[in-house]
A and B are shown apart, each in its own frame.
Chain A
Amino acid sequence: AQKITQTQPGMFVQEKEAVTLDCTYDTSDPSYGLFWYKQPSSGEMIFLIYQGSYDQQNATEGRYSLNFQKARKSANLVISASQLGDSAMYFCAMRANDYKLSFGAGTTVTVRA
């Protein structure tokens, strides 16, 4: 079974600074995908960024980048130049040998002005 671990329940970051959210995963499958989602207080889950297990380069999407360290089984999300609107809960998820996403427990990010 796949397992996703997010060890940081909550983080504070100053506006305009960068923040790194940790995610480690556990799977024995060689083929898998890693996803990050943002959940604002309104509740909807917003897709942010994706990394495939065979991708050679770290994924980037605007201010979001994924620090993918395959040997360490980690897929940390980096948010650069934080904005007040980045305050939300962030979830790391993995999909391996089936259609299902396994989610971590999430990290709450609060951006301070």
Chain B
Amino acid sequence: SQTIHQWPATLVQPVGSPLSLECTVEGTSNPNLYWYRQAAGRGLQLLFYSVGIGQISSEVPQNLSASRPQDRQFILSSKKLLLSDSGFYLCAWSLEAGGPSAKNIQYFGAGTRLSVL
């Protein structure tokens, strides 16, 4: 069965420090991968998605970046964190087949709560 791992679960970082969040998927090949951010009590905002190794699409201009060095590894990074980067970060994966109305479910990791102080 497929599983998704995301770490760390909680992170407290000072403003201006770097960031690296990692997400790995097991039990599947060539998944689509996604990074979302969720502000407290709000919906999810898509930050990045990737359809293959080295292929990254950015949805929101910001000081964050993403990389996909391996098929099932997705990394979210920042060189210098801002206070506004605080939030709950979720990684997700899906397998794509069929058109827009196909049942391509996105499965989420447990998330990382990031506090920038």
A positions within 8 Å CB-CB of B: 4, 29, 31-33, 35, 37, 42-47, 50, 52-54, 91, 95-101, 103-106
Q: With A91-B44, A105-B43 as given contacts, are A43 and B110 in contact (CB-CB < 8 Å)?
A: yes
Distance to closest chain A CB from B28 (angstroms): 15
Q: Give CA–CA (A103, B59) in the complex, Å.
A: 14
7 residue pairs, one from A and one from B, having the closest CB atoms: A45-B108, A103-B43, A52-B101, A31-B101, A43-B111, A31-B100, A103-B44
Distance to closest chain A CB from B82 (angstroms): 22
* B49–A106 touching, CB < 8 Å: no
* A33–B42 touching, CB < 8 Å: no
* B108–A106 touching, CB < 8 Å: no
Q: Give CA–CA (A35, B44) in the complex, Å.
A: 13
* A33–B44 touching, CB < 8 Å: no
One of B13-21, B66-74, B89-97 contacting the partner? B89-97
* B42–A42 touching, CB < 8 Å: no
Interface residues on B, range: 20 to 34
**CB closest chain-B residue, reference A4:** B43
Q: How many A-B residue pairs lie within 8 Å, measured between CB atoms?
A: 67
Interface string of B46-75 (1 = CB under 8 A from A): 100101000000010000000000000000
Distance to closest chain A CB from B51 (angstroms): 7
Q: Give CA–CA (A53, B101) in the complex, Å.
A: 6
B7 adjacent to chain A (CB < 8 Å): no
Q: With A91-B43, A91-B44, A99-B51 as given contacts, are A43 and B113 in contact (CB-CB < 8 Å)?
A: yes
Partner of B106, one of A31, A52, A96, A101: A101
**CB closest chain-B residue, reference A104:** B43
Partner of A47, one of B42, B44, B100, B105: B105
In the assembled complex, which residues on chain A have CB atoms less than 8 Å from the CB atom of B41? 106
Partner of A106, one of B42, B101, B105: B42
Q: With A99-B51, A99-B96, A103-B44 as given contacts, are A33 and B110 in contact (CB-CB < 8 Å)?
A: no
Distance to closest chain A CB from B50 (angstroms): 10
Partner of A98, one of B44, B100, B105: B100
